[in-house]
Amino acid sequence: MNIIGPDYLVFGVNDLDACIQYLIDYGLKPVDLDENGGLLEALDGTGIVLRRHSDQRLPAPLETATQLRETVYGVMGESDLQAIAAELEKDRHVVWGDDGVLRCVDDMGFALGFQITCRRAISLPAEAVNAPGDQVHRAVNVLAVTADMPALPRSLSHVVYFVPDAARAEAFYERLGFVCTDRFTDVGPFLRPAGTQDHHTLFLIQTPPFLKGIEHFTFHMGGPTDVMVAGTRFVEKGYSSFWGPGRHKMGSNWFWYFNSPLGCHVEYDADMDLHDDHWLARETPAGADGSQIFLFSRQEKWAPGGPPPGAGKPNQSSGPLE
């Protein structure tokens, strides 16, 4: 079952116009939007589908306040869809949609879909870094940064769920070929499906039942500078930073999280570790030292002669676990 990762997430939102503008400002491109919502996509075609919360096309909501209504995973081919269907039909109702999506509900009640992936092949250079002792990666007279440089989301990276029973939720995804790459003790696992080497496309966090839902989602960027540039532009448009910028330990990805009108946090990430089946999962206690190797606090631009950076400003939130 070669599941690659999430192709798109579906939200039924309370403020459709604000959510559309948020995702456009985040860097996603609108596709076939109308007064009832639509798709906003990254450079490779993965993305977010927005609908009004009362839209009858949406799967039934969870019993909590979360606005996430469905997670649709991309797979390599038709044989993978058939294998997933055969496994899931052992103990739950499975529906083949007219849109080609195989649908079910997982053991925590989250609506899931599976389709032959919509991901388009993209050919874009990663951030190039020059360092003493290595060959030249960015040519002479080529600038690393410019004021108008693009910094756009490339691909939907991962989704994080709050779940009331992380062990049971993990067992369900193991049936679909997900493996644990790392784990926070008494919190939950980072899970990688068979169709990708990304450190994780799903992270499960043990919480009380009333919190069940999505904690955050994120898109991969071209490198840490993309994260910093896109995040800075986002702040300048008036959106509030929640956690970051910084770099995680588990997965090693750079991160910057923001509050959103979608009822969850939204992250930029870059440079995640890759793993195969030879990797041995680590386990560490949850907490600040396990969550990041370092964490920055954004300040307004500053030059010598002015007041000290951040003078009189409160510290940022320590953020979630991942």
Residue 321 has pLDDT above 60, yes or no: no
Q: What is the mean pLDDT of the chain?
A: 95
Q: How far is CA 187 from the centre of its chain?
A: 18
Taking 3-state DSSP, the helix, strand and coil percentages for the chain, each rounded to the nearest 5, stand at 15, 35, 50
Q: What is the per-residue pLDDT for 320?
A: 54
For residue 312, pLDDT over 70 is answered with no
Burial class (CB in 10 A: 0-12, 13-18, 19+), 95: exposed
- pLDDT, tens digit, for every residue of 101-110? 999 999 999 9
pLDDT of residue 190: 98
Chain segment 145-157, per-residue pLDDT in tens: 999 999 999 999 9
Read off the pLDDT of each residue in 292-309 and give the average, rounded to a whole number.
87
Q: Is the pLDDT of residue 271 over 90?
A: yes
| Residue predicted with more confidence, 18 or 314 | 18
Is 307's pLDDT higher than 90? no
Supply the range of the domain harboring residue 218.
Answer: 3-120+154-295
The predicted model scores a pTM of: 0.94
319 in a domain, yes or no?
no
Q: pLDDT value at position 89?
A: 97
pLDDT of residue 1: 85
| CATH of residue 266 | 3.10.180.10
pLDDT the model gives residue 314: 54
**pLDDT tens across 55-73, in order?**
999 999 999 999 999 999 9
Question: Could you tell me if residue 14 is inside a domain?
Answer: yes
pLDDT in tens, 167-185: 999 999 999 999 999 999 9
Return the percentage of the chain with pLDDT > 90, whole number: 91
User: Is the model's pLDDT at 23 over the cut of 60?
Assistant: yes
Residue 318, pLDDT score: 46
Closest CA to 47 of 60, 29, 20: 29
Q: Which residue has the tokens 């092949």?
A: 121
**Is 8's pLDDT higher than 70?**
yes
Mean pLDDT, residues 301-314 taken together: 75
Number of domains in the chain: 1
Asked whether residue 279 is assigned to any structural domain, the reply reads yes
Let me know: does 203 contact 160? Beta carbons within 8 Å: yes
Distant-in-sequence, close-in-space partners of 220: CB < 8 Å, separation ≥ 6: 153, 154, 155, 156, 157, 269, 270, 272
List the alpha helices (DSSP H) in the chain.
16-26, 78-88, 166-175, 224-236, 288-291
Confidence at residue 45, expressed as pLDDT on a 0 to 100 scale = 98
Give residue 303's pLDDT: 86
Residue of 77 and 318 predicted with greater confidence: 77
For residue 88, how far is the Cα from the chain centroid? Answer: 25
In a domain, 301, yes or no: no
Beta strands in the chain (DSSP E): 3-13, 29-34, 37-41, 47-52, 68-75, 95-96, 102-105, 111-116, 155-163, 179-185, 188-192, 202-206, 213-220, 241-248, 254-258, 265-270, 282-285, 292-295
pLDDT tops 70 at residue 322: no
C-alpha torsion angle, residues 89, 94, 100, 106 (rounded to 10): -100
Q: For position 27, what pLDDT does the model report?
A: 98
Task: Give the model's pLDDT for residue 305.
Answer: 83
Confidence label for 313 from pLDDT (cuts 50, 70 and 90): low
Strands 111-116 and 68-75: parallel
Tell whether 314 is covered by a domain: no
Counting residues of the chain whose pLDDT is more than 70, the rounded percentage is 96
* Residue 133 lies inside a defined structural domain of this protein: no
Residue type present at position 222:
G
In a domain? residue 142: no
